[in-house]
Structure formats: structure tokens, C-alpha cells
Structure 1
Amino acid sequence: MELVGWIVRVVWLLNIFAAIFTVFKEKREISATWAWLLVLSFLPIIGFILYLFVGKKLSQDKIYDIKTQERMGIEQLVSLQKEQWREKELLPADEITDTAREMVHLFLETDNAILTKHNQVEVFDDGHAKFKALFDDIRTAENHVHVEYYTFYNDRIGNELRNLLEEKAAEGVEVRVIYDSFGSRGTTHKFFARLEDLGGRAEPFFGSRRSFPNFRLNYRDHRKLVIIDGHIGYIGGFNVGDQYLGRSPKFGYWRDTHIKVTGNAVIAMQSRFFMDWNATVKEQHISYKEDYFPLAAGQGKTSIQIVSSGPDSEVENIKLGYIKMINNATDYVLIQTPYLIPDDSLLEALSIAAFSGIKVKVMIPSMPDHAFVYRATQFYAKSLLDAGVEIYKYNKGFLHSKTLVVDGKIAAVGSANMDYRSFKLNFEANAFMYDEGVSKQLVKIFEKDEKECTRLTPEYFEQQSLWLKFKQYFSRLLSPIL
């Protein structure tokens, strides 16, 4: 027994030294460092297996591949717009508020995100309507269809979309698909074999074409983009899968938000797609062609910036945009998110807004799709409730919408959740829109969803069991790595 005790102590000490070496050899935030030390120290062997899948960073070579890609089609526009902003020509005072002007400058400086005007926007809050419109637009494609999804499942809707892309490829339309191999679990590259035989191409984002799965949980391509002939673009929260049409018994009705954009904002979506494509493929990179970037004489009223965020950037662009919107609110802030795990800066922004008399409403799901993440979401919901934020639990099905609306004037729709993973660990893309019409439409959707919600109260959390509260507190400790 004494020998066993010595062996246990030696193994424990070796595990501690290994944990310290493993965590500190890579640069990361203090909160994430301590979270990993906790996991590796108290879960010997299991913790290191988790680290292999969750904690290991993307190689610097791959980060470099993304950083060095040309912002095809918009490099000159970025320089021009920065000069126009300095000369106050980009956003005349009679066209936009001071708050919006500051946000436009923020994204120009941090993400080189151009401002595009006169876009037409159609909002979808139901998967059936979104996919019908998307399929109809793809059928009209004459030059190219570029598709980028975190999830592209081999199921009914996935096969329908793949078959349609095959039809377009057979017609001679250029078809390119980027899919995330982890997000598309169960979909191997063989799924796209006929598409490639017909002249299309499909590539896993920083993955392998081999059939065995990629278990790395972090640094995933979480973007959802479709660009059709350079004129039409789709961006938002819907992935490709039957569950997003409410066909999953587990989740039931699926509530999400997506937008269709017609206008010059599609140029920015196209440029983002090309950067991701050229960083992913090893050969046959895309080069500039005028057909990819047709300028539109848009008749719409919406000004849009397409903003990207990910491990390739030192600045958390989308999070900064969220904080800027919240800090400048004068009346109300409406948020829908499936995962509510804010870092300290976002938590403080929301709390300060509520303490200042701004009506802040946050809507979250009533059910988990990831247990640990949902418990952490509950913890932060309770924290924000204590600060005066109104928390609503959506009961009709699963809420996957990622939207932020401030004062009915500025809105954000895209792939980024209110959590560490979206801000730091995954590749995301959002549309920030400066338009009262679209913003108020999203407000009406929020108000409609509110009728399907339960407003949470202090009593709701007080009545929870001690075991549930423990799981929430424990999940919160791991929130920097969830």
C-alpha cells in the first residue's frame, strides 16, 4: 500500500509538471490558461486527451496562410474609403448617425471592412423559407455559385442542395464548396464525388479529404456564406441539415435568422470566400476576374459592412462591434443567442447598459444542444439578471439565432454567438447593417419570439437544485475553453 501511495504521488507530480509545460508553451489568455490547468491537473490522462482535441492551437503556418491572402476585389476600396472617412465624404451627416459613423471607422481600421450602400436585404426567420429562396436563386446562376457552411450534412436537405449544385456544374456554372469537416460530421469527401466529376470542387476547411473524422474542436470554419454570380449573397445562422428545418425530434422547431443581400455587400462576401478558399486549397487558387465582382447600381436603402473574426486576427472584430453597439445604445438592446458566455468586457458592457436605464433583453434557448455550454449560459443569464438585464427563455423549439439590434437603427446578423468560441476560437462572419427598416423588422421578429418565451426571474434560479447550480458554477470555470 505504501508503494502504491508513492506511485500515485509521483504520477500526480508528473501530471502537474506536464500540465504546466503543456499550457504555458502556447500563448493564451490568463483565464484560458487557468481553466486548462484546472482540467489537466484534476483529470489526469483524460484532461490531456481533451486538450488534444480542444486546446491544441492551429499551426502558425495555417494562420499565416489566412493572414496573407489578398482581399481580392476590395483592396483599393479599403484605401479609398479610409480617405473618404477622413474627408467626411463616406458618411455625410445627413445620411447616418454619429454612432454608426464611429462603428464604420472601427471596422475599417480593425478588419478593412468596406461600407457598401444601397443594398436590398430580405430577412428569413424560418428554414423552409430560407432554403426555398436559396434554391430558387441558385437555379438562376449563370456564372458561379460559391458555398461556405460550417455544417453540410448528408441528409435530405443536404442531398437536395448537393444535387442542385451538381445540376449547375453540369450546365457549366462554376461551383465551389467549403465545408467544415467537424461541423459536417458524417459527411465525407465522397459525398461530393459526383459534383467534382461534373467540374465542381469541394474542400474541407483546413481538413483532410480522407474519411476519418477530424476531432479538433477549436478553430473551425463557423461561417455560413453563399455567393451567386457576385450579385446575391446569403449570410446568417442557418447551416445545411434537416434539423435546421425542424425535422429533428430532439430539437423540434428550429428558430434561426438569415439574410439575403442583393447589392455591393456581396463583393465583401465574395472576397471573404476567396480568402478562405485560397488559404484552404494547396493548388488552383482563385485569381481576380471581373465576373466575380460586378458592381451593382443597387436600389436598396441598407448600408452594410461584412465583418470577419477569427484566430487569424489579433483583434476580436465582431466582439468589439457588439460592445460598441451596446455602449452607444440610448433606448434598448435586443439580443438573441444560443450560447451566452460573454467575457468580462462584454459582461460589463451589458451590465453598465442595464444599470444606466437602457432596456436590455437577451433571449436564449430553453434546451441544450451542448450540456456544458448550456450550464454556463444559465450561469451568465443569472449574472445578467442580477444586473437588471431581462432574460427570456425561448420555448417553441431551439433558438439558434445570432442577432443584435440597438435602438431600431443598427443591427447585426451572422454566425457569431455571444461566447468565447465565436470571438476567439472560430472563424466567423457577420453583417452589420445601418438601416432603420431592417432593424425594426428584426425588432418585430424579436417581439414575436417573445410571445413564445418565459421571462426568467430570480425565483426561477433560486428554485433550481443544488446539483444544477453546482454544474452551472463548474461550467462557468471552464467557460474560457468551452
Structure 2
Amino acid sequence: MNYFYIFLSAIIAVNTLISVITVFSDRNRDIAAIWAWLLVLNIFPVIGLIIYLFLGRKISKEDIYNLREQSKVGLPKYLEIQNNIKIDQLEYIEKKDFNDPKNKKFEMAKMLMRIEQPPISLDNEVEYFVDGREKFDQLIADIKKAEHHVHVSYYIFKGDKIGKRVVAALEEVAKKGVEVRVQYDPVGGRTLKKSLFQQLESYGGETDTSFGSKFHLLNIRLNYRNHRKIVVIDGKIGYVGGFNVGDDYLGEYENMGYWRDTHLRIEGTAVHQLQERFIIDWNASKKAELIAYEPYYFPVVESRGDTKIQIVSSGPDSELQQIKTGFLKMINLAKESIYIQTPYFIPDDALKETIELAVLSGVTVRLMIPNKPDHPFIYQATLSYAEELMNIGGEVYIYDKGFMHAKTIVIDDEITSVGTANFDIRSFKLNFEVNAFLYNKKTALEQVEYFEKDMKDSYLLTEEIIEAYSLWDRFKQQFSRLLSPIL
């Protein structure tokens, strides 16, 4: 028995030593993440270390360098054009009086341009989709009208009914000579059988996974997912938002119920920015044939729209956390109202304090989250942060019609963000994400209308609901919150 205790003590000692050395070897990791990993590593000896090796290692400097270099492949001419537009716009914006509340959009746009993001696209027509069937019906109709190319990138791509419908539309146009490229994340698409694309590839279509094979489990990018959802058709029509490709996004999974999401269909020069993002991601995979700049990928767009848009990307290849910084700026600019819809509400300290300051300053802050989890740990942490927001005067609505998966923010009926980034630390630091920031009162009011309509299918989080939580509920929320920096 003494030998058993000596052996057990040795394992614990070695595990603790390895934990400290492993976690603290990365001096750039934030303190909250360090403590979260130390908790995992020491509560679950050996198993915790295996989890860390799969999910905890950061992207190496060499990999970050490669990603940044690959982002320049094929696109120097286009990026030069965009940079010249950005210089002109910054000179114009510098002349604006930021004390004038009408100039919020210029202050916001200037900040985003200064953190390596594109200039403002001025001429866009925008259509919202909040229902999966309507979104995919329109997407498939647009694909079938393609004349030159269709570029598709989704985090999740399933080979179920809707997946087969999308692939069938791609096969139809590929057979006519249209260039078709499909990219999906190897983890998000882990259930996908390669045979789904066999016919498409026989017609000349190309398919690829982003950032490594799904079978390469020790790939250091396993925890760094391409969470973007982008479709570009002929360089003229673009889609971005929360819907992935799967029957659950049509509300066909009984345990999830109706699927409430938000997606954008864009016509205008903002589509070129989505095209840029797709080409960079495609070329960064390093497995498929590279795409080089050609004018037909960025055609002249005849749009009569007036919605100003910036397509903003972020990912672990940059320390700037561009989308999170955009959220911070939006919340700071708000004087009257902030409406947030998100499946996961796990703000870091900076965002939490900024939201609290807005509430205490008299800004109406409304948050809408789901009534059920698709990731239990993340949902429990979400409930904890939602309670904290309610306690300081924010309004928290629990969507009760099905699953709330929309990722939207709108402030003062003026500036809107719609995209792939959840309101959580994973989206800000670990995932590759893309959001559209829209500067248009009409689209902002439309998003507010959707929010207010969803309120009718929601209930308000109250003190009575919170008091009914059991001790077990409390434990799950607090434990999940401790792990939130690494969820």
C-alpha cells in the first residue's frame, strides 16, 4: 500500500511540475487562461495534460508567419487598390468633427481601418435572412444563376438533405464550366464523407479543408477553427452570417427545435472584401491550387444600394482581436441602446466592464440568449454572465421558441454587426471569424425589429428564476465560468 501512495504522489508531483512548465512556457498567454488551464491540469491529472496537448497549445510563431505570408499570395494588386482607397477615406474622415453624434460611423470605420481592416464599401444592397429554409432557397437559386465562379466556405458542412441540395446545385453549374471551390473546417466537417463531393470534382470542382486534415488529431491547430461562413457568386453576390450547412439549421432536429439565426445577402463592392477573405483562406490551406488575382474575381458591380459596410476578419494569427475591438468601440459609442443576440455570452473583462459602464450610464442594454445548450459548459457560463448583467440593470431575454444562434449587435438604431463571431472568448481569440459592420439606419432599424419580434417568443430573466436555481445549478455555472477563458 505504501508503494501505491508513493506512486500516486509521484504522479501528482510530476503532473504539477509539467503543468506549471507547460502553461507558463508561453509568456504571451493571458492570466485568466493560465489559471483555467492550471485548474484543468490539476483537477484531472494526466487526462488534463492530454487535453492540453490537443487543445491548449498556441499557434507557433512560424505558423503565424506562414499564415500572414500566405495572405499576400495572389492578391498584391487588389490589396494595393484597397490600401489606396483606405488612405483616401482616412484623409476624408480626419476632417470630421467627432463631437457631432452623426459622425459615429466615421469614428468607428476609422478605428477599424487602423487595425488592418478594409476601407468602407459605400454602395451595398443588403437582405436579412433569419430562417434557414428561406436562406438556403435563395442561396441555391443564386448558385444556379452563376456564370463564372462560386466560392463556398462553411465551418460545418453536412452530407444530409440540405447539404446534398447545395452540392447538387454546385454540380449543376460546374457541369456548365463554372469554377466551383468548396472549403470547410476539418473539425466542423468531421462527419462529412468525401464521397459527397466526388461527382462535383469529376466536373472540375475543387474541395479542400482549412488548416489541416480532420484525421491529423495532433495538429496544433485543432483548437483554432475556421468558423467563417462565406459564399461569393461571380464576385457580385455575397453571403455571410451564422447559418452552417446542415438540417439542424433548418429546424429539423427535434431536440433543438426551431433554429433562429441571422445571415446577410449582399450585393455591392463589400462582396469583393468577402472574396478577398475567401481567397486568402483558400490559399492559406496550402493543399489546393492557389488562386491568383484576376479582374473577373473582382468585377465592376452595378449596385443601387446605399448601405456602407466593412467586412472585418479576426483570428489567432493576429494579436489585435479586430472583431472584439469593433464590439468594444460600438458599445463605447452607444448613447441610447445596445441590442445583442448571441448563443454564447462569455465576455472577457474588457467587454464586461464596457457593458457595465454603458448600463450604469443609462444606456438600454438588451441581451438575448437561447433557452437550451448546444454546448453545456459554455451555456452554464453564459447563464452566470447573463445573471451578472441582469443584476446591474441590463435586460436579459431567454429565447423560448427554439435555439437562438444569431450573432448580432446594433447600437442606437445606427450601427449593426452581423457575422460569424459569437460574444465569447473563443470567437475573439481562438477562431478565425468574419463579421460585417453596417453603417445604415434602415438596416439597423430592421435588426431592432427582428429583436423586438423575438422578444415575443422569449421570457425575461428575473430574480425569481435565479432564486430557483439549485445548488447543483450554481456549481455548474461557477465551475464553467472558471473554465470560460479556454472554452
TM-score bracket, shorter-length normalisation = over 0.9
Q: Structure 1 227/96 Cα, relative in aligned 2: closer, same or farther at 3 Å?
A: farther
Q: Do structure 1's residue 174 and structure 2's residue 179 form an aligned pair? A: yes
Supply the distance in 1 between the matched residues of 2:66 and 2:237 (Cα, whole angstroms). Answer: 27
Tell me the SS of whatever aligns to 2:436. Answer: strand
RMSD: 2.0
Q: Counterpart in 2 of 1:55?
A: 56
Q: Counterpart in 2 of 1:41?
A: 42
Q: Deviations over 1:298-325 (max 9, x none)?
A: 2111000000010011101111111111
Tell me the SS of whatever aligns to 2:115. Answer: helix
Q: Counterpart in 2 of 1:77?
A: 82
Cα displacement (A) at 1:134: 0.5
* 8 Å contact kept, 2:211–2:221: no
Q: Counterpart in 2 of 1:298?
A: 303
Q: Do structure 1's residue 471 and structure 2's residue 473 form an aligned pair? A: no
Supply the distance in 2 between the matched residues of 1:57 and 1:260 (Cα, whole angstroms). Answer: 34
Which shows bigger deviation, 1-10 or 309-318? 1-10
Q: Structure 1 212/195 Cα, relative in aligned 2: closer, same or farther at 3 Å?
A: farther
- Given candidates 238, 242, 245, the residue that maps to 2:243 is 238
Q: Deviations over 1:395-450 (max 9, x none)?
A: 00000000000011100000000000000000000000000010000000000000
Cα displacement (A) at 1:464: 0.2
* 8 Å contact kept, 1:203–1:209: no
* 8 Å contact kept, 2:421–2:434: yes
Aligned partner letter, 2:44: L
Q: Deviations over 1:122-155 (max 9, x none)?
A: 0011001100110111011000000010000111
Cα displacement (A) at 1:211: 9.3
Which shows bigger deviation, 346-355 or 61-70? 61-70
Q: Deviations over 1:4-40 (max 9, x none)?
A: 2222111111000111122122331111011101111
Q: Do structure 1's residue 108 and structure 2's residue 113 form an aligned pair? A: yes
Cα displacement (A) at 1:251: 0.4
Identity, in percent, stands at 48
Which shows bigger deviation, 12-21 or 74-83? 74-83
Supply the distance in 2 between the matched residues of 1:294 and 1:385 (Cα, whole angstroms). Answer: 48
Cα displacement (A) at 1:368: 0.3
Aligned partner letter, 1:41: N
Structure 2 gap ranges (5+): none
Q: Counterpart in 1 of 2:449?
A: 444
Supply the distance in 2 between the matched residues of 1:239 and 1:365 (Cα, whole angstroms). Answer: 17
* 8 Å contact kept, 1:118–1:302: yes
Q: Counterpart in 2 of 1:8?
A: 8
Instruction: Give the count of matched residue pairs.
Output: 481
Aligned partner letter, 1:454: Y
Supply the distance in 1 between the matched residues of 2:145 and 2:11 (Cα, whole angstroms). Answer: 64
Q: Counterpart in 2 of 1:258?
A: 263
Q: Counterpart in 1 of 2:232?
A: 227
* 8 Å contact kept, 1:81–1:90: no
Q: Do structure 1's residue 138 and structure 2's residue 149 form an aligned pair? A: no
Q: Do structure 1's residue 162 and structure 2's residue 167 form an aligned pair? A: yes
Q: Deviations over 1:80-137 (max 9, x none)?
A: 32243224489899x9932111111111111232210110000011001100110111
- Given candidates 285, 289, 293, the residue that maps to 2:290 is 285
Q: Counterpart in 1 of 2:21?
A: 21
Q: Structure 1 105/89 Cα, relative in aligned 2: closer, same or farther at 3 Å?
A: closer
- Given candidates 390, 415, 423, the residue that maps to 1:418 is 423
* 8 Å contact kept, 1:188–1:211: no
Q: Counterpart in 1 of 2:406?
A: 401
Q: Deviations over 1:226-281 (max 9, x none)?
A: 00000000000000000000001110100000010000000100000011011013
Structure 1 gap ranges (5+): none
Aligned partner letter, 2:65: Y
Supply the distance in 2 between the matched residues of 1:422 and 1:212 (Cα, whole angstroms). Answer: 21
Aligned partner letter, 1:322: F
* 8 Å contact kept, 2:338–2:364: yes
* 8 Å contact kept, 1:235–1:258: yes
Q: Structure 1 195/90 Cα, relative in aligned 2: closer, same or farther at 3 Å?
A: farther
* 8 Å contact kept, 2:338–2:363: yes
Q: Counterpart in 2 of 1:97?
A: 102
- TM-score, with normalisation over the residues of structure 1? 0.96
- TM-score, with normalisation over the residues of structure 2? 0.95
Aligned partner letter, 2:416: A
Q: Deviations over 1:286-345 (max 9, x none)?
A: 111000001223211100000001001110111111111111111100000000000000
Aligned partner letter, 1:36: W
Tell me the SS of whatever aligns to 1:478. Answer: helix
Q: Counterpart in 1 of 2:190?
A: 185
Aligned partner letter, 2:13: L
Aligned partner letter, 1:156: K
Supply the distance in 1 between the matched residues of 2:43 and 2:66 (Cα, whole angstroms). Answer: 36
Supply the distance in 2 between the matched residues of 1:77 and 1:378 (Cα, whole angstroms). Answer: 42
Which shows bigger deviation, 330-339 or 204-213? 204-213
Q: Structure 1 91/187 Cα, relative in aligned 2: closer, same or farther at 3 Å?
A: farther
Tell me the SS of whatever aligns to 1:327. Answer: helix
Supply the distance in 2 between the matched residues of 1:91 and 1:209 (Cα, whole angstroms). Answer: 49
Tell me the SS of whatever aligns to 1:185. Answer: coil
